[in-house]
Copies of this chain bind each other. A is one copy, B any other.
Amino acid sequence: MPSLQEVADRAKVSIATVSRVLNKSDKVVPKTRATVERALSELGYRPSRVARRLRMKEGHAHLVGLIIPDIQNPFYAEIARGVEDVAYANEFALLLCNSDENLEKERFYLNVMQAESVDGIVLPPFDDTDPAVLEMVASGMPVVCVDRSLAKTKTDLVEVDNYRGALEAVNHLIDRGHTRIGLIEGRAQVSTNRERRRGYLDALAARGIAPQRELMRAGDFKLASGRVLANELLELRRPPTALFVGNNLMTVGALAALHQRGLRVPGDVAIVGFDDLPWAEALDPPLTVVRQPAYEVGRRAMELLLKRLAAPGAPVTTVRLRPELVVRRST
């Protein structure tokens, strides 16, 4: 890997001149520029982003961190794609990490990102009060929250109207004649989850249906918990006739439980889940879901970050996207 110095030597100029050529400074006469450019290409010079980052003030790394709970979850994969596409279009690279909904891992990666002097970070906070993220924000690092939000601190944020999504989903179930509607929700500390629960409760209340504690179960957003909680609900003396499930993975788990018990969907039990799935169409039956515009979430988040880098002092902005009820054949 040739350095500026080697190029300068070969072109018989100083490193300052080479640097100027590279940085498109106009203060260099055509002839010198030509010489330098030849040396540059002959040596196959590649600037070191590391050295550059060390020298420059923050905000010029062209590197951003993205922390997501699990890249194997299609919802987050789609967000990641949105972030990446905008990043690439602006020649930014991505430091991508899985937190596994694990505070330790998140903290480790956050440290790495700070130590790498990334320009900014995009992530869904672990919960409302995520201390590691709070620290990061306090340190002045640009942070854009996606999906979930922080309780007291306000950062740039892209979120989806979870309340509305849940409301529509449960209304849809009620319209189909269901009154015993089971809820399989996620971790209570997560803002999105609370919104979805609120939507569930309000939808019932609006139709004069009393919520039943035994029909509400909390899981951890993972597939297995969808399966076990669905089984718990189905084993009730008066089982629900419909299920509203709080995220994609738990929905698949619940569906598996239904199949395993030989229940017909939606004949015996209807099911609607939050988050769309890549092949929801090909599932048995095609799943009715509340679709979140995940790609859009990622895209907007990265755009917000770019805007923030351009105007560090600007007030924070919140983007709120609308989910969409996609009715297929599980309801």
Bound-state Cα–Cα, A91 to B71, Å: 18
> Does A327 belong to the interface (CB within 8 Å)?
no
Q: Is the CB of B93 within 8 A of A95?
A: yes
Bound-state Cα–Cα, A80 to B63, Å: 20
> Does A127 belong to the interface (CB within 8 Å)?
no
Q: Which residues of B contact A53 (CB under 8 A)?
A: 50
Q: Which residues of B contact A114 (CB under 8 A)?
A: 1, 46
What 1/0 flags go to A275-286 for Cβ under 8 Å of B? 001110111110
Q: How many copies does the complex hold?
A: 2
| Contact residue among B54, B78, B97 (Cβ-Cβ distance under 8 Å from A93) | B97
Report A230-289 residues with CB < 8 Å from chain B CB.
252, 255-256, 259, 277-279, 281-285
> Does A119 belong to the interface (CB within 8 Å)?
no
- Segment at the interface with B among A35-43, A105-113, A194-202: A105-113
Q: Which residues of B contact A96 (CB under 8 A)?
A: 94-96
Q: Which residues of B contact A283 (CB under 8 A)?
A: 279, 282-284
> Does A47 belong to the interface (CB within 8 Å)?
yes
| Contact residue among B81, B93, B97 (Cβ-Cβ distance under 8 Å from A72) | B81
Q: Which residues of B contact A279 (CB under 8 A)?
A: 252, 277, 279, 283
Report the minimal beta-carbon distance from A158 to chain B, rounded to whole angstroms: 19
Q: Which residues of B contact A48 (CB under 8 A)?
A: 54, 115, 117
> Does A77 belong to the interface (CB within 8 Å)?
yes
> Does A51 belong to the interface (CB within 8 Å)?
yes
Known: A93-B109, A112-B49. A259 touches B282 (CB 8 A): yes
Interface residues on A, range: 35 or more
Most B CB within 10 A of own CB, among A98, A115, A139: A115
Bound-state Cα–Cα, A314 to B98, Å: 31
Q: Which residues of B contact A98 (CB under 8 A)?
A: 81, 84
Q: Which residues of B contact A105 (CB under 8 A)?
A: 88
Report A56-74 residues with CB < 8 Å from chain B CB.
63, 71-72, 74
Known: A46-B111, A84-B97, A117-B50. A72 touches B72 (CB 8 A): no
> Does A116 belong to the interface (CB within 8 Å)?
yes
Report the minimal beta-carbon distance from A85 to chain B, rounded to whole angstroms: 8
| Contact residue among B1, B46, B72, B94 (Cβ-Cβ distance under 8 Å from A77) | B72
| Contact residue among B115, B259, B277, B282 (Cβ-Cβ distance under 8 Å from A255) | B282
Q: Is the CB of A282 within 8 A of B281?
A: no
Q: Is the CB of A77 within 8 A of B71?
A: yes
Bound-state Cα–Cα, A211 to B197, Å: 57
Bound-state Cα–Cα, A58 to B291, Å: 46
Q: Which residues of B contact A84 (CB under 8 A)?
A: 71, 97-98
Q: List 16 A-B contacts (CB under 8 A).
A: A46-B111, A46-B115, A49-B116, A50-B50, A50-B53, A71-B71, A72-B77, A72-B278, A84-B97, A91-B108, A93-B109, A94-B97, A259-B282, A277-B279, A279-B279, A279-B283
